[in-house]
């Protein structure tokens, strides 16, 4: 590693840390002002608010703005180098433009690996802290939360496999019981088995479901067989922890856990998994975007212009805004439509990689 490499890498990391800390203070100040009423209603001390919320909020905001921090840091210190004619001096010394960009590529790759590892394992654990506080102390006072389009919020309808469907009414997570239950099995688009019970309860000793006042029907062509039971033990691939509405689940699962959950629900034939798939693919795509944005920032800011740093920062903010807006659009199209999740996660990177190559070819070397 040469002196110029150490110089650029030191500038990159120091400026990045400064930007991250500065934006973190601003984000915490804005968030605390918005949630002042919620903190008062929660009746928690400052230490408890920090331990139960901000210790998870800060890594979450870092993960969201990490590429933006890197992009702004690269543009800021590189434009300063260009304004002081340092880039011209480096190139005039015989250093090729590609060699000049090498420490940017190395630094961007290091930061991308940090975010990739954090997004897969560390950030979800922080999200669990933040989302638990959000659900316990914020969402319960929000009239738009905890509502369902049906008349029963704690009602569940699940597909256990390709032929078996179950439903529960008024499931209580504390007692792990529900006031009603049904299970149907389908063959050739016809129901051939139907099971209904007045109540269902999870037995922690046997790890099975206990049913009471059970009616079991078996339909064979025009013949129907009915059996009544006071109690019945049912062993199905369903656990009480799966019967809990959690709007933050995809953010709290590590990447291996999220991938396993998607495979399990796909085997059951569950629909609406695009949001989970997009989240899984984005954790890798957003890490790659750091490398791409680092190179775009270096190419743009290394040119000496009359506008100086201000012009570079303005252009960089516009590019970053377009990138993040396009990322949100592609995600929405996948979740709400039929856009492939893998393509939705990587489409902004594909487009802006092409822009990075175009800018690189047009830059005087």
Average pLDDT rounded to a whole number, residues 239-258: 81
pLDDT of residue 287: 92
Rounded Cα distance between 201 and 177, Å, is 4
Average pLDDT rounded to a whole number, residues 75-79: 89
Q: Is 329 exposed, middle or buried (0-12, 13-18, 19+ CB in 10 A)?
A: middle
SS3 102: helix
Q: Among 131-135, 225-229, 346-350, which stretch is predicted with the lowest mean pLDDT?
A: 131-135
CA angle centred on 282, ends 262 and 267, rounded to 5°? 10
Rounded Cα distance between 325 and 334, Å, is 14
Average pLDDT rounded to a whole number, residues 159-164: 82
pLDDT at 110 over 90: yes
Q: Among 38-42, 183-187, 196-200, 244-248, which stretch is predicted with the lowest mean pLDDT?
A: 244-248
Q: What b/e string do you get for 66-104 counting C-beta neighbours within 10 Å, with b at 16 or more? A: bbbbbbbbbbbbbbbbbbeebbeebbeeeeeeeebbebb
User: Where does the pLDDT of residue 149 fall: very low under 50, low under 70, confident under 90, or very high at 90 and above?
Assistant: very low
Q: Is 149 exposed, middle or buried (0-12, 13-18, 19+ CB in 10 A)?
A: exposed
SS3 171: coil
pLDDT of residue 288: 94
User: Where does the pLDDT of residue 245 fall: very low under 50, low under 70, confident under 90, or very high at 90 and above?
Assistant: low
pLDDT at 240 over 80: yes
pLDDT of residue 307: 59
Query: What tokens does 246 get?
Result: 């959690």
Mean pLDDT of the chain: 85
Q: Among 102-116, 139-153, 309-323, which stretch is predicted with the lowest mean pLDDT?
A: 139-153
**In the chain, % of residues over pLDDT 90:** 27
| Backbone φ and ψ of 228, nearest 5° | -115, 135
Average pLDDT rounded to a whole number, residues 78-99: 87
pLDDT at 217 over 60: yes
pLDDT of residue 160: 82
pLDDT of residue 346: 92
Summarize pLDDT for 175-215 with one digit per residue, the tens.
888 888 989 999 888 888 999 999 999 988 888 999 999 99
Q: Among 70-79, 148-157, 181-190, which stretch is predicted with the lowest mean pLDDT?
A: 148-157
| Backbone φ and ψ of 346, nearest 5° | -105, -10
Domain boundaries, the chain: 3-141+271-362, 156-244
Max mean pLDDT among 42-46, 119-123, 176-180, 330-334 falls in: 119-123
């Amino acid at each position: 590693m040469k002196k110029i490499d150490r110089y650029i890498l030191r500038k990159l990391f120091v400026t990045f840390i400064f930007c991250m800390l500065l934006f973190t203070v601003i984000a915490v100040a804005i968030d605390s002002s918005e949630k002042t009423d919620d903190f008062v209603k929660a009746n928690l001390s400052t230490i408890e608010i920090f331990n139960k919320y901000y210790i998870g909020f800060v890594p979450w905001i870092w993960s969201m703005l990490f590429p933006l921090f890197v992009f702004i840091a690269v543009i800021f210190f590189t434009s300063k180098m260009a304004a002081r004619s340092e880039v011209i001096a480096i190139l005039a010394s015989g250093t090729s433009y590609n060699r000049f960009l090498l420490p940017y590529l190395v630094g961007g790759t290091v930061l991308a690996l940090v975010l990739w590892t954090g997004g897969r394992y560390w950030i979800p654990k922080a999200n669990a802290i933040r989302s638990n506080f959000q659900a316990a102390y914020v969402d319960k006072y929000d009239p738009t939360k905890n509502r369902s389009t049906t008349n029963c919020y704690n009602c569940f309808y699940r597909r256990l496999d390709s032929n078996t469907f179950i439903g529960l009414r008024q499931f209580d997570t504390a007692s792990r019981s529900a006031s009603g239950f049904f299970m149907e099995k389908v063959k050739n688009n016809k129901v051939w088995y139907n099971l209904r019970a007045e109540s269902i309860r999870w037995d922690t000793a046997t790890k099975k479901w206990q049913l009471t006042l059970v009616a079991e029907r078996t339909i064979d062509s025009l013949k129907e067989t009915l059996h009544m039971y006071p109690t019945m033990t049912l062993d199905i691939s369903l656990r009480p922890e799966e019967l809990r509405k959690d709007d933050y689940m995809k953010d709290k699962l590590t990447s291996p856990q999220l991938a396993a959950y998607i495979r399990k629900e796909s085997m059951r034939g569950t629909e609406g998994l695009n949001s989970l798939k997009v989240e899984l693919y984005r954790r890798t795509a957003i890490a790659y975007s750091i490398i791409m944005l680092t190179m775009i920032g270096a190419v743009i800011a290394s040119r000496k212009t009359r506008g100086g740093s201000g012009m570079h920062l303005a252009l960089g903010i516009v590019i970053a805004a377009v990138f993040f807006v396009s990322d949100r659009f592609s995600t929405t199209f996948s979740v709400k439509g039929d856009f492939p999740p893998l393509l939705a996660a990587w489409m902004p990177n594909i487009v802006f990689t092409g822009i990075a190559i175009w800018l690189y070819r047009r830059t005087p070397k």
